[in-house]
């Protein structure tokens, strides 16, 4: 009786699965317009984000020099990173410090700026929103920050510090480890006033002014 009961149970489970798949397919057909709208982004996101990450995870378990076929080595690469590579541990520490600082600060900065600007008159609000958002999508962002933190006397910040006698020689903001983290954090916080800032502005605009 045992094998007969198991066969019946498997048949019932298979039939239930078939019914669920049929119902799911009917829902997909009923909402095909929505799926067609989402399809371009979903396909591109899968091709350029999900698939490369999945391939990278698989390759991380191999010895691959891009010239010869990958050779499976299991956990050897990860063991070498954690136990033998000092640079990797420094990179992990810097990444954690960077994430802990920039994550909350960028969120609160976007919210506070959006809140303050939302209380202004419509024309002033539009101008300030453009001023805060436009630089983050500008193609010359790299050039602007490179000029500001340039390691010679022609850099804006070094020129100011040298002019007022605060320093005696230019500070190497972009190459000195003592300054690199702070510079990157400042740039990322400034860049965060982009999409998130606009999202907060849009959300605050939808709230009843009486509240």
59 pLDDT exceeds 90? yes
Distance (Å, rounded) from C-alpha 161 to C-alpha 105?
27
| 9 has a pLDDT exceeding 80 | no
| Model confidence pLDDT, tens digit, residues 143-185 | 778 888 988 888 889 999 998 888 888 999 988 888 989 998 9
pLDDT at 55: 94
Find the helix packing angle between 86-118 and 122-133, rounded to 10°. Answer: 170
> Is a pLDDT exceeding 90 seen at residue 21?
no
Structure-derived torsion over alpha carbons of residues 18, 19, 24, 29, reported in degrees to the nearest 10 = 100
Q: Where are the alpha helices (DSSP H) in 31-176?
A: 32-45, 51-59, 76-84, 86-118, 122-133, 141-148, 156-163
């Amino acid at each position: 009786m045992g094998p007969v009961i198991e066969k019946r149970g498997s048949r019932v489970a298979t039939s239930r699965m078939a019914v669920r798949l049929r119902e799911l397919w009917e829902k997909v057909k009923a909402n095909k317009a929505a799926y067609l709208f989402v399809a371009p982004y979903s396909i591109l996101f899968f091709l350029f984000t999900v698939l490369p990450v999945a391939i990278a995870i698989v390759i991380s378990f191999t010895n691959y020099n891009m010239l010869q076929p990958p050779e499976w080595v299991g956990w050897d690469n990860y063991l070498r990173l954690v136990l033998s590579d000092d640079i990797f541990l420094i990179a992990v520490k810097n990444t954690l410090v960077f994430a802990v600082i920039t994550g909350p600060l960028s969120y609160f900065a976007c919210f506070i700026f959006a809140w303050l600007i939302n209380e202004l008159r419509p024309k002033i609000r539009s101008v300030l929103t453009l001023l805060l958002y436009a630089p983050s999508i500008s193609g010359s962002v790299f050039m602007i920050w490179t000029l500001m933190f340039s390691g010679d006397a022609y850099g804006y910040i070094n020129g100011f510090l040298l002019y007022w006698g605060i320093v005696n020689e230019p500070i190497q903001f972009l190459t000195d480890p003592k300054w690199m983290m702070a510079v990157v954090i400042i740039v990322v916080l400034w860049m965060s006033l982009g999409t998130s800032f606009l999202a907060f502005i849009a959300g605050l605009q939808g709230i009843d002014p009486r509240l």
